[in-house]
Amino acid sequence: MTLRIPLIAGNWKMNGRKAESLDLARAVAAGVTDRCELLVCPPAILIPPVAEALAGSAVAVGAQDCHFEAAGAHTGDISAAMLADAGCSHVIVGHSERRADHGEDDSLVCAKTTAAHAAGLVAIVCIGETLEERDAGRTLQRISAQLDGSLPDVVTSDNTVIAYEPVWAIGSGRTPTPEDVAEVHAHIRGRVAARYGVGVADVMRILYGGSMKPSNAGTLLEIDGVDGGLIGGGSLNAKDFLAIAMSCP
Ligand code: PGA
């Protein structure tokens, strides 16, 4: 029996208007499967209506980012507590687009993870190498550094999910080979075991993200150590997103 229920998480990024997003959310809720847990992460402004539309369904709602402080003078930012209040159970932190667009580094991601935990949210902590790092043979080194820097000292399998997203695979249509994914996931789990204990590592969910779609989801999701997916483009269409969910072994 597997210890880890797969999580299929949709990262809608900066896409959608209210009406179409509510249609998408409702269509996802109508296709819930017992193969996995389902999560959608709308743009922040759409969280309240999407959470309302999904209330009572088995689809959870998450955010794409949070501030590292609980409250204060931070114009334009949103705290983890506000997200929880709006109906979120999860928040993505350290996505490579946030790291690139907003200069977020590992220590900031670590502070955001702590803030998410303090607000009772599950943090989905994203890590992944660039193409340059992969080509230079530095993938595992980079993954280790990001893990060490982005995770706080206290982490449980209940409050943290790790998403391995090779930067070069995001939105590109390209994916690593199953062997490469398996190697990185095993490396991540080993690193989690060394820092937090085998008991935590055994039940910690490690997602794969980057160009996952219905046509490759089966191959990616059956890789040993892959416990679900973080899906961008493929989550904007309910049929595709649910087809990915149905690909969970
Ligand atoms: P993609 O994005 O599925 O469009 O490649 C994944 C992500 O960035 O989380």
Q: How far is the CA of 213 from the centre of ligand 1 (A)?
A: 10
Q: What is the pLDDT of residues 201-247, one digit of tens each?
A: 999 999 999 999 999 999 999 999 999 999 999 999 999 999 999 99
Atom of ligand 1 nearest to the CA of 234: 3
What's the mean pLDDT when you consider all of the chain? Answer: 97
52-79 pLDDT, tens digit each: 999 999 999 999 999 999 999 999 999 9
Pocket test for ligand 1, best of 92, 168, 174, 211 (most atoms within 8 A of CB): 211
Which of 7, 11, 213 to mutate to test ligand 1, by most ligand atoms within 8 A of the CB atom? 11
Specify the long-range contacts of residues 99-108, CB closer than 8 Å, at least 24 apart. Answer: 100/167, 105/149, 106/145, 106/146, 106/148, 106/149, 106/150, 107/149, 108/68
Distance 170 CA to ligand 1 centre (A): 5
Q: Which residues are catalytic?
A: 95, 165
The pTM of the full predicted model, rounded to 2 decimals, is 0.98
Cα distances (Å, whole numbers) of residue 112 to 13, 21, 24, 195, 207: 18, 26, 28, 19, 19
CA nearest ligand 1 atom 3, residue: 232
Q: Could you read off the pLDDT of 121-172 as tens digits, one per residue? A: 999 999 999 999 999 999 999 999 999 999 999 999 999 999 999 999 999 9
φ, ψ for residue 162 (rounded to 5)? -105, 135
Please give the number of the atom of ligand 1 that sits closest to the Cα of 11: 9
